[in-house]
A = this chain, B = another copy of it.
Amino acid sequence: MHFADRLVEAVERSGSSLCVGLDPDPALMPRGVEVVEFCRGIVDAVAGLAAAVKPQAAFFEALGPDGWAALAEVCAYAREAGLLVIADGKRGDIGSTATAYAAAFAPIADAVTVNAYLGRDSLEPFLARDGLGVFCLVKTSNPGSGDLQDVALADGTLLWQHVAALVREWGDDLVGESGLSRLGAVVGATYPREVAHARELMPRSVFLLPGVGAQGGRPEELRAAFAPGPAGALVSASRSVIYAYRERGGDWRQAAAEEAARLAGEVRAVAVA
């Protein structure tokens, strides 16, 4: 089933346009809790409060040989809990290699993040996977994102706007029954002006908006992203939710649930307005 259509369903079911990022960092996790146990606990805590989770491949790879098994187990557990899974790997490579990445991620995730620096043919193997959601990096949330993405082009636009135009063009054939394309865009919540502009450039793409919480992005500035409706965007927070116990104290699962509920409420206020 088409990713955007599944997302519409998941947002309706949960009443939430929140995505919780799973960045399991042993330095920040509660002592004595293993990575898989931690991620399962977070999934239990946020199921019903979020539409999706976004496991970050890097933190699983950093575990060494057992990392990929842990990632697959966490993804399966989240899907059983009714959450969509966006595997955040930001992969991008030549066709034959991208085919191997797609083979690695498609069986365990509902959507993936990709980097389009290598061009259209590097995305093709992901787009060719039936129903798979693909979020292309457009304007990222980090401070240095402007080094390349804000470079001025000869036509008067910026590089990220050129990428946005390509995402629109490439995604036009991938629109589901909901009217949304399964080729989406990553746009940093830390750049609200760009989010609004990106929505004009890509009217039918689902936006994945990371950078809320630890990175400083605020849901109330992201209203424009939801122009197509509550499933038009997913506001994604990682550290501020999964490590909420470090601020709030108490049980780490309870703290994550409370912070997810609080944030989901804030997001809902702009998503359904």
Contacts and interface: CB of A to CB of B under 8 A. Distances in A.
A117 B137 contact: yes
Interface string A45-66: 0000000000010110110111
A17 interface: no
Interface of A: 23, 25, 56, 58-59, 61-62, 64-69, 72, 90-98, 100-101, 103-105, 115-122, 137, 140-149, 151-156, 159, 162-163, 166, 215, 239
A142 B23 contact: no
Given A23-B97, A56-B97, A90-B92, A147 B119 contact: yes
A75 to B, nearest CB: 12
B93 A118 contact: no
Contacts of A155: 152
Given A119-B147, A137-B118, A166-B147, A97 B58 contact: yes
A-B CB proximity, top 5 nearest: A119-B144, A119-B147, A65-B69, A121-B144, A58-B100
